[in-house]
């Protein structure tokens, strides 16, 4: 590009903020206060010759976990308009304030959306921000303290809603698959079955995947758990590292008890020049791919999310790059399967010398609710500035491998004269009609998990009926300790079962072999 158009979108500033209850200067900041700190850091990072806060015309915020579901009540209260609460803290008065839908894809999806908006003349300077203070909530509750974090801020708000469609089905929910940990456990065991691995061998794979993540987290000053751990430590079942859902120990899943915030400042090249932002701060989005996946029960293969992989392939194609030409990666790592899925689909190995994370990953750096990838993008921008000319890939996952956004970044200028050639969406996959609610007859276990419960462990299987191959969820019979013991001693994958529907509408299974 001999001449960079003034309408070209660029990322000009990034900021992060974090605190731990064990820190000497711990202040127990609210989510809005943490977000304000990250926003100020992003503005300072741009190195402009003038104050940037007054130039922000759009402020889009990521939804905190505590307001991500209908009827949720934040224990200490919350702002009625979180984006404008953050704006108030930095002296900004944006014409648009946006609260994004639920999901970890949000930060990357918003970067693509507003790069396109800037290129089309719909915005000049945009601030993206998100924060979580879940660790502080638990810390203060344990002390019996109840601060008031409620705020009423005037001004319009574009609340995009929860965006929870497609994550679960009624059948999964009534059969105890009601959150991310048990649902991803089903995916993980399905992948183990596809690979034909024993429980012990697959546990080793998970530990070896994530041990290098923990080493990077140990060097990151914003990490919630900055401790390097070996593969054997991550998978060893101990009192501190209990099973949270077969096959996951606590150290293999996202850590949501964090106090972290991140912010990204975008602008047009013209606005950046006018504000005196040095060109060595400029980073370009070269390609963005967004995708939605089928509901878990409708996916032909429970061990994979092809739509997520297609998101990455689309972003690479739009950027004119192959995966071999990428220098830096940060793959969303809420659970091992989220990373394995992308490695499998892109033909990468777990020990790729380029590394798979820049932050340290969600279990060790911290799973800052829906906002993790804002931190990943911040780390990416910093790394690319230090290595001009390199290219980096951000993979951002939301829901139950339900929504994915991939971005390709570089300090090399990108031509945004045709935004549709830089940002695209993968076509939705056709719904195959696999799920059946009430199941009866002979079937086979496709995947499973065992969930620790206070009143006794629960075995949940996903199976296929022999006669029509329709998929169902089922629980072991009530008080069936023999099936529970059998599930722990023998691998349930691929086993033949008999299933029936009880008088409460629940599918109940027993082993037939």
For position 285, which CATH number holds?
Answer: 3.40.47.10
- Give the tens place of pLDDT for each residue, 31-66: 999 999 999 999 999 999 888 999 999 999 999 999
pLDDT at residue number 436: 97
- Tell me how far CA of residue 135 lies from CA of 20, 29, 116, 146, 257, in angstroms: 8, 10, 35, 14, 4
pLDDT at residue number 248: 98
CATH code at 466? 2.40.50.840
Three-state secondary structure call for residue 325: helix
Q: How far is CA 16 from the centre of its chain?
A: 17
Instruction: Judge if 370 and 473 occupy the same domain.
Output: no
Mean pLDDT over 236-261 rounds to 97
Angle between helices 372-386 and 106-119 (to 10 degrees): 60
pLDDT at residue number 2: 58
- Give the tens place of pLDDT for each residue, 481-501: 999 999 999 999 999 999 999
- Rounded to whole angstroms, the Cα distance separating 489 from 369 reads 35
pLDDT at residue number 18: 98
269: exposed, middle or buried (Cβ count in 10 Å: 0-12, 13-18, 19+): buried
Q: Is the pLDDT of residue 1 over 80?
A: no
Indicate the pTM of the whole model.
0.98
Q: How far is CA 354 from the centre of its chain?
A: 21
- Tell me how far CA of residue 170 lies from CA of 302, 450, 511, in angstroms: 17, 20, 24
For 88, the enclosing helix (H) or strand (E) is helix 82-90
Instruction: Judge if 419 and 454 occupy the same domain.
Output: no
- Give the tens place of pLDDT for each residue, 451-473: 999 888 999 999 999 999 999 99
- Rounded to whole angstroms, the Cα distance separating 109 from 73 reads 27
pLDDT at residue number 454: 87
Q: What are phi and psi of 9, to 5 degrees?
A: -80, 145
- Give the tens place of pLDDT for each residue, 63-89: 999 999 998 899 999 999 999 999 999
Mean pLDDT over 178-185 rounds to 97
Q: Is the pLDDT of residue 240 over 60?
A: yes
Three-state secondary structure call for residue 42: helix
In percent, the amount of the chain with pLDDT more than 90 equals 97
- Rounded to whole angstroms, the Cα distance separating 59 from 428 reads 29
Residue 19 falls in which region: left (phi positive, over 0), alpha (psi -120 to 50) or beta? beta
- Give the tens place of pLDDT for each residue, 263-293: 999 999 999 999 999 999 999 999 999 999 9
Mean pLDDT over 396-401 rounds to 98
Mean pLDDT over 152-173 rounds to 96
Measured from the Cβ of residue 75, the count of other Cβ atoms closer than 10 Å reads 13
Domain, as residue range, for 91: 9-166+255-425
Instruction: Judge if 311 and 451 occupy the same domain.
Output: no
> How many domains would you assign to the chain?
2
Mean pLDDT over 424-450 rounds to 97
Measured from the Cβ of residue 198, the count of other Cβ atoms closer than 10 Å reads 10
- Rounded to whole angstroms, the Cα distance separating 404 from 326 reads 19
Q: What is the DSSP annotation of 207-240?
A: HHHHHHHHHHHHT-TT-SS-----HHHHH---SS
Select from 282, 326, 288 the least CA-distant residue to 111: 288
Residue 108 falls in which region: left (phi positive, over 0), alpha (psi -120 to 50) or beta? alpha
Average pLDDT taken over every residue of the chain? 97
Instruction: Judge if 290 and 380 occupy the same domain.
Output: yes
Instruction: Judge if 15 and 161 occupy the same domain.
Output: yes
In a domain, 468, yes or no: yes
pLDDT at residue number 404: 98
Instruction: Judge if 367 and 481 occupy the same domain.
Output: no
Which band of pLDDT confidence, cut at 50, 70 and 90, is reported for residue 3? Answer: confident
In a domain, 1, yes or no: no
Mean pLDDT over 393-416 rounds to 98
Which band of pLDDT confidence, cut at 50, 70 and 90, is reported for residue 359? Answer: very high
* Domain-terminating residue out of 425, 450, 468: 425
In a domain, 215, yes or no: no
Mean pLDDT over 212-233 rounds to 98
Residues 445/492, Cβ–Cβ less than 8 Å: yes
For 43, the token pair is 């503005």
């Amino acid at each position: 590009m001999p001449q960079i158009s003034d309408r070209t979108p660029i990322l000009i500033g990034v900021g992060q903020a974090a605190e731990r209850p064990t820190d000497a200067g711990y202040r127990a900041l609210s989510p809005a206060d943490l977000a304000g700190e990250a926003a100020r850091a992003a503005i300072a990072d741009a190195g402009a010759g003038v104050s940037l806060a007054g130039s922000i015309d759009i402020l889009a915020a990521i939804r905190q976990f505590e307001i991500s579901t209908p009827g949720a009540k934040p224990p200490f209260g919350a702002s009625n308009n979180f984006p404008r609460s953050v704006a108030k803290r930095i002296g900004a008065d944006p014409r648009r304030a946006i609260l994004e839908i639920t999901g970890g894809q949000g930060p990357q999806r918003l970067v693509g959306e507003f790069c396109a908006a800037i290129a089309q003349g719909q915005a000049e300077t945009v601030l993206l921000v998100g924060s979580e203070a879940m660790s502080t909530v638990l810390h203060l509750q344990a002390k019996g303290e109840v601060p008031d974090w409620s705020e009423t801020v005037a001004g319009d708000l574009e609340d995009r809603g929860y965006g929870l469609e497609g994550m679960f089905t009624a059948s999964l929910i009534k059969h105890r698959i009601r959150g991310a940990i048990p649902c991803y456990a089903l995916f993980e065991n399905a992948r183990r079955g596809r690979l034909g691995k024993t429980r012990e061998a697959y546990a080793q794979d998970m530990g070896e995947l994530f041990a290098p993540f923990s080493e990077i987290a140990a060097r990151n000053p914003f990490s919630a758990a900055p401790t390097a751990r070996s593969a054997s430590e991550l998978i060893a079942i101990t009192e501190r590292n209990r099973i949270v859902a077969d096959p996951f120990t606590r150290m293999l899943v996202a850590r949501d008890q964090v106090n972290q915030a991140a912010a990204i400042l975008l602008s047009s090249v013209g606005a950046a020049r006018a504000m005196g932002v040095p060109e060595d701060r400029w980073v370009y989005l070269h390609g963005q791919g967004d995708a939605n996946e089928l509901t878990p029960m409708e996916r032909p293969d429970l061990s994979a999310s092809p739509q997520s992989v297609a998101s990455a392939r689309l972003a690479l194609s739009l950027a004119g790059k192959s995966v071999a030409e990428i220098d830096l990666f940060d793959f969303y790592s809420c659970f091992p399967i989220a990373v394995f899925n992308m490695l499998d689909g892109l033909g990468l190995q777990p020990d790729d010398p380029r590394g798979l994370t820049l932050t340290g990953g969600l279990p060790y750096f911290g799973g800052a609710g829906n906002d993790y990838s804002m931190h990943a993008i911040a780390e990416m921008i910093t790394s690319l500035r230090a290595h001009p000319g390199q290219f980096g890939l951000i993979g951002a996952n939301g829901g139950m491998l339900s929504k994915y956004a991939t971005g390709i970044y570089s300090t090399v200028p990108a031509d945004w004269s045709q935004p549709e050639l830089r940002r695209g969406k993968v076509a939705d996959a056709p719904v195959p009609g696999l799920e059946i609610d009430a199941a009866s007859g002979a079937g086979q276990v496709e995947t499973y998990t065992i969930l620790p419960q206070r009143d006794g462990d629960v075995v949940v299987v996903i199976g296929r009926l022999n006669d029509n191959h329709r998929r169902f969820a089922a629980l072991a019979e009530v008080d069936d300790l023999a099936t529970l013991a059998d599930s722990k001693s023998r691998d349930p994958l691929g086993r033949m079962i008999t299933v029936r529907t009880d008088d409460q509408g629940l599918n109940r299974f027993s082993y037939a072999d």
